[in-house]
């Protein structure tokens, strides 16, 4: 088990390394940061000097090496645009994104698993079929469109909820939270739904499919033949068996909630890291882009690792030492 | 005679389909008494498992009972639904499935599954349920039951798993056990052990057992009486020795002739010509007549005398091996 974890962490580091390499090789195609930084009035000498100063005259492999060297020491450099340390900027923006992702993730998980079970058990019911049909909307409509539709309905037409921003936030020193004010909570609702809806419908459809599959298994039949209560059959016997594939997908989906927050944050002008990244791309702010991409990959790799650990917790068959043969 | 534990009376199971109504079980009647093993034998699709599922109320919709009665110790149970049916299952009638690899929940320990079933049906404490679970495992021949009760199903071998399945079926002390091909998925050597176990439990506890199988060897080994099914109908019903040695129905005779016996040496096995007709495509008259060398006009017109639980042995117009009776 421990050996497995260590091996996985080793693999994770390799993945991060490759992600960074690919990212760096692509930054040069995004544009030239020097253009933005020097403005219209500039000489060729200015450009050369700045390039050299930023290390942009070197091949990307060298740039990447320097970035790594600094990054392992926790130093992600200075933002080209703001002139402040990238780590500081990211930390400042992270609470907004994490709170949004947390609420959306919760919504997606609770709603997805709950509705998935419901539609599987009441497979032939009218409401279950209605939910399934509606879920097609969630799967097929693009996120930004859902966001815009929600803004149109609840902000413009009904005027119930704010259409942009984070509302009032409370500063806890190292963390700013919108959970503690009414306007902060109200501001969370629309972006959280926008961000979580796709994941929710995806999880719901997945749980439903898996659940239907499991409900056909012999051990479910046998449990019924032994007179086990429906509730116990559904939740104790069936649900647990659907969890392994569900956790795999759900874990990745939760990762992408944070990664794809970019779109939602843009639509709702949410002051999180996604919006920061979009602005960084426009300005070709390489240190910010690099740090953001590394952050997202660390998150994905971390979630994957947790998911693998969860398999062990759920499925006893995996706990057997592989050398024992596993019969 | 005392009331049979299970009485199936004139049972018809139908499946409505787009191409008309299929009848996988067609006017079947039999009894099983306490301490008796009734073997139900037939080819795949003959309706033997469907009969078992109908008895325990586990027919998959749209299959449903349309005619007939199922009596459990004299009480009609075929019309029970929902909660009332659930209370009977496990408590008064239980089922053993074919594949022990898939009939146990892989994520729950053997003990959890046993205790859950005991707690569901018996008014006992958690500790008592556990004690009974261990005792039950010991009874079905699991060594070191106390230590193994916390094991997961995958930690048992196939034969041991089937023992666990039997323990699960019997743990709430049902009157009737339906064993649906309980040995088909097992090694031959393990098969004999499981059959011996079923026989022992049946005798000791006075459980009525319905043993569904396609294996004539298993029937010969375990059953007291045998019901031969063909295309949803009961072809022959009688004490196992008589049916196996002096079959009345030509189909039973054909089955016996096509069963390899070590004593017969290396003779070529006899085959029954043709195949069992599909349910949607049954011939008129006796379903077996296209394959039967004794078939006459009446067989093509009329399905033959219906077997009920009391009268008759073979549903055949021209039964075999009945000379001495015919003479009297």
Nearest chain B Cα distance for residue A111, angstroms: 24
Beta strand pairing call for B20-32 and B6-17: antiparallel
What's A86-282's CATH class? mainly alpha
Judge whether B52 is closer than 8 Å to chain A, CB to CB: no
Cα separation of A290 and A313, whole Å? 35
Residue B241 pLDDT exceeds 60: yes
Interchain proximity A226–B120, CB inside 8 Å: yes
Cα separation of A49 and A245, whole Å? 54
* pLDDT value of residue B311: 60
**Partner residue opposite A225 with nearest CB, options B95, B105, B106:** B95
**Partner residue opposite A237 with nearest CB, options B94, B105, B168:** B105
- Interface with A, mutate which of B87, B103, B157, B161 (most A CBs under 10 A): B103
Interchain proximity B107–A229, CB inside 8 Å: no
> CA A82, A88, A90, A92: dihedral to nearest 10 degrees?
-100
**Partner residue opposite A227 with nearest CB, options B109, B121, B155:** B121
Q: Please, which pLDDT band fits residue B265 given cuts at 50, 70 and 90? A: low
Judge whether B106 is closer than 8 Å to chain A, CB to CB: yes
Query: pLDDT tens-digit profile of B149-183?
Result: 888 888 888 888 888 998 888 888 889 999 988 88
Cα separation of A47 and A37, whole Å? 10
Interchain proximity B107–A232, CB inside 8 Å: no
| Residue partners of A303: CB distance under 8 A and separation at least 6 | A251, A252, A254, A255
Cα separation of B64 and B17, whole Å? 12
Cα separation of A151 and B60, whole Å? 47
CA neighbor of B8 nearest in space, from B66, B54, B58, B64: B54
Sign of CA dihedral B14, B17, B20, B22: negative
Mean pLDDT of chain B: 84
Cα separation of B140 and B159, whole Å? 11
Interchain proximity A218–B97, CB inside 8 Å: yes
Whether the CB-CB separation of A99 and A178 falls below 8 Å is answered with yes
C-alpha A136: how far from its chain's center?
21
Judge whether B104 is closer than 8 Å to chain A, CB to CB: yes
- Interface with B, mutate which of A227, A236, A327 (most B CBs under 10 A): A227
Whether the CB-CB separation of B227 and B38 falls below 8 Å is answered with yes
**Would you state the structure tokens that stand for residue A185, as one six-digit string?**
């909570």
* pLDDT value of residue A326: 39
* pLDDT value of residue B328: 38
Q: Please, which pLDDT band fits residue B211 given cuts at 50, 70 and 90? A: very high
Whether the CB-CB separation of A300 and A259 falls below 8 Å is answered with yes
* pLDDT value of residue A323: 40
Judge whether B84 is closer than 8 Å to chain A, CB to CB: no
**Partner residue opposite B107 with nearest CB, options A223, A228, A314:** A314
Question: How would you class B123 by CB atoms within 10 Å of its CB: exposed for 0-12, middle for 13-18, buried for 19 or more?
Answer: exposed
**Would you state the structure tokens that stand for residue A272, as one six-digit string?**
């999180």
**Partner residue opposite B87 with nearest CB, options A219, A227, A240:** A227
Mapping DSSP to helix (H, G, I), strand (E, B) and coil, where does residue A62 land? helix
All residues of chain B having their beta carbon less than 8 Å from the beta carbon of residue A326 are: 154
All residues of chain B having their beta carbon less than 8 Å from the beta carbon of residue A327 are: 154, 157
Cα separation of B29 and B10, whole Å? 5
Query: pLDDT tens-digit profile of B23-72?
Result: 888 888 888 988 899 999 888 878 888 888 888 888 888 888 888 888 88
Residue B305 pLDDT exceeds 80: no
Judge whether B146 is closer than 8 Å to chain A, CB to CB: no
Rg of the Cα atoms in chain A: 24
Query: pLDDT tens-digit profile of B214-225?
Result: 888 888 888 899
All residues of chain A having their beta carbon less than 8 Å from the beta carbon of residue B158 are: none
* pLDDT value of residue A327: 40
Q: Please, which pLDDT band fits residue B210 given cuts at 50, 70 and 90? A: very high
CATH architecture of B6-92+174-327: 3-Layer(aba) Sandwich (3.40)
All residues of chain B having their beta carbon less than 8 Å from the beta carbon of residue A317 are: 106, 152, 154
All residues of chain B having their beta carbon less than 8 Å from the beta carbon of residue A229 are: 86, 120
Interchain proximity B168–A222, CB inside 8 Å: yes
Our separate counts of H helices and E strands in chain B read 12, 10
All residues of chain A having their beta carbon less than 8 Å from the beta carbon of residue B99 are: 218
DSSP annotation of B66: E
- Give B70's strand partners: B8
Cα separation of A35 and A42, whole Å? 9
Whether the CB-CB separation of A288 and A79 falls below 8 Å is answered with yes
* pLDDT value of residue A45: 80
Region of B76 please: left (phi>0), alpha (psi -120 to 50) or beta.
beta
| Residue partners of A241: CB distance under 8 A and separation at least 6 | A214, A217, B105, B106, B107
Nearest chain B Cα distance for residue A220, angstroms: 8
| Residue partners of A88: CB distance under 8 A and separation at least 6 | none
Judge whether B121 is closer than 8 Å to chain A, CB to CB: yes
All residues of chain A having their beta carbon less than 8 Å from the beta carbon of residue B104 are: 219, 222
Interchain proximity B95–A222, CB inside 8 Å: yes
Interchain proximity B105–A241, CB inside 8 Å: yes
Interchain proximity B154–A327, CB inside 8 Å: yes
* pLDDT value of residue B1: 58
All residues of chain B having their beta carbon less than 8 Å from the beta carbon of residue A242 are: none
With a cut of 50, list the residues of chain A below it in pLDDT.
Answer: 322-327
Long-range contacts of B182-186 (CB under 8 A, 24+ apart): B182/B96, B182/B97, B182/B98, B182/B211, B182/B213, B183/B213, B183/B215, B183/B218, B184/B98, B184/B99, B184/B213, B184/B214, B184/B215, B185/B98, B185/B99, B185/B100, B185/B101, B185/B158, B186/B100, B186/B158, B186/B159, B186/B162
Interface of A with B (CB under 8 A): 217-219, 221-230, 232, 236-237, 240-241, 314-317, 320, 326-327
CA neighbor of A276 nearest in space, from A88, A25, A56, A29: A88
Cα separation of A88 and B248, whole Å? 92
More confident residue, A201 or B299: A201
């Amino acid at each position: 088990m421990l050996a497995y974890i260590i091996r996985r962490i080793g693999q994770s580091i390799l993945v991060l390394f490759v992600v960074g390499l690919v990212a760096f090789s692509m930054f040069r195609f995004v544009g030239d940061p020097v253009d933005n930084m020097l403005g219209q009035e500039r000489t060729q000498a200015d450009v050369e000097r700045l390039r050299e100063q930023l290390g942009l005259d070197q091949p990307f492999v060298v740039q990447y090496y320097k970035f790594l060297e600094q990054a392992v020491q926790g130093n992600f450099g200075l933002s080209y645009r703001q002139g402040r340390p990238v780590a500081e900027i990211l930390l400042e923006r992270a609470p907004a994104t994490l709170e949004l992702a947390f609420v959306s993730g919760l919504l997606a998980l609770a709603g997805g698993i709950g509705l998935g079970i419901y539609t599987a058990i009441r497979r032939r019911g009218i409401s279950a079929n209605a939910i399934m049909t509606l879920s097609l909307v969630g799967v097929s409509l693009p996120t930004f469109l859902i966001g815009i539709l929600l803004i149109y309905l609840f902000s413009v037409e009904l005027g119930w909820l704010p259409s942009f921003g984070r509302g009032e936030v409370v500063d806890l020193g190292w963390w700013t939270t919108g959970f503690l004010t009414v306007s902060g909570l109200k501001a969370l609702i629309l972006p959280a739904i926008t961000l979580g809806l796709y994941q929710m419908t995806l999880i719901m459809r997945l749980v439903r499919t898996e659940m239907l599959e499991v409900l056909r298994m012999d051990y479910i039949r046998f449990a019924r033949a032994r007179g086990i209560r429906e509730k116990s059959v559904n939740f104790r016997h069936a649900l647990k068996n659907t969890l392994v594939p569900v956790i795999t997908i759900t874990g990745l989906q939760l990762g992408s909630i944070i990664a794809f927050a970019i779109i939602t944050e843009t639509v709702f002008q949410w002051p999180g890291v996604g919006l920061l990244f979009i602005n960084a791309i426009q300005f070709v702010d390489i240190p910010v882009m690099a740090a953001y991409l590394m952050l997202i990959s660390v998150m994905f790799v971390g979630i994957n690792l947790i998911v693998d650990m969860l398999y062990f917790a759920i499925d006893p068959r995996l706990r057997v030492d592989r050398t024992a043969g596993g019969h | 005679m005392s009331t049979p534990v299970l009485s199936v009376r004139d049972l018809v199971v139908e499946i409505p389909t787009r191409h008309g109504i299929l009848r996988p079980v067609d006017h079947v009647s039999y009894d099983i008494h306490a301490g008796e093993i009734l073997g139900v034998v037939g080819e795949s699709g003959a309706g033997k498992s469907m009969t078992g599922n109908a008895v325990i109320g586990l027919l998959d919709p749209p299959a449903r009972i349309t005619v007939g009665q199922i009596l459990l110790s004299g009480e009609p149970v075929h019309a029970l639904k929902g909660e009332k049916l659930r209370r009977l299952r496990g408590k008064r009638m239980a089922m053993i499935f074919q594949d022990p690899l898939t009939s146990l929940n892989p994520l729950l320990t053997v003990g959890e599954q046993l205790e859950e079933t005991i707690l569901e049906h018996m008014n006992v404490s958690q500790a008592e349920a556990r004690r009974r679970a261990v005792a039950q495992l010991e009874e079905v021949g699991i060594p070191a039951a106390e230590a193994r009760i916390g094991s997961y199903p995958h930690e048992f071998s196939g034969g041991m798993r089937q023992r666990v399945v039997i323990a699960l079926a019997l743990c709430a002390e049902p009157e009737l056990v339906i064993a649906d091909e309980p040995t088909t998925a097992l090694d031959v050597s393990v098969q004999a052990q499981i059959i011996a176990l079923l026989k022992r439990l049946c005798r000791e506890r006075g459980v009525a057992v319905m043993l569904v199988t396609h294996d004539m060897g298993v029937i010969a080994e375990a059953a007291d009486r045998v019901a031969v099914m063909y295309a949803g109908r009961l072809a022959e019903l009688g004490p196992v020795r008589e049916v196996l040695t002096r079959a009345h129905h030509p189909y039973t005779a054909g089955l016996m002739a096509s069963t390899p016996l070590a004593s017969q040496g290396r003779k070529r096995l006899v085959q029954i010509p043709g195949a069992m007709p599909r349910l949607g495509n049954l011939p008129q008259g006796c379903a077996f007549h296209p394959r039967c060398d004794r078939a006459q006009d009446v067989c093509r017109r009329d399905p033959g005398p219906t077997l009920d639980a009391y009268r008759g042995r073979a549903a055949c117009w021209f039964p075999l091996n009945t000379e001495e009776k015919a003479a009297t």
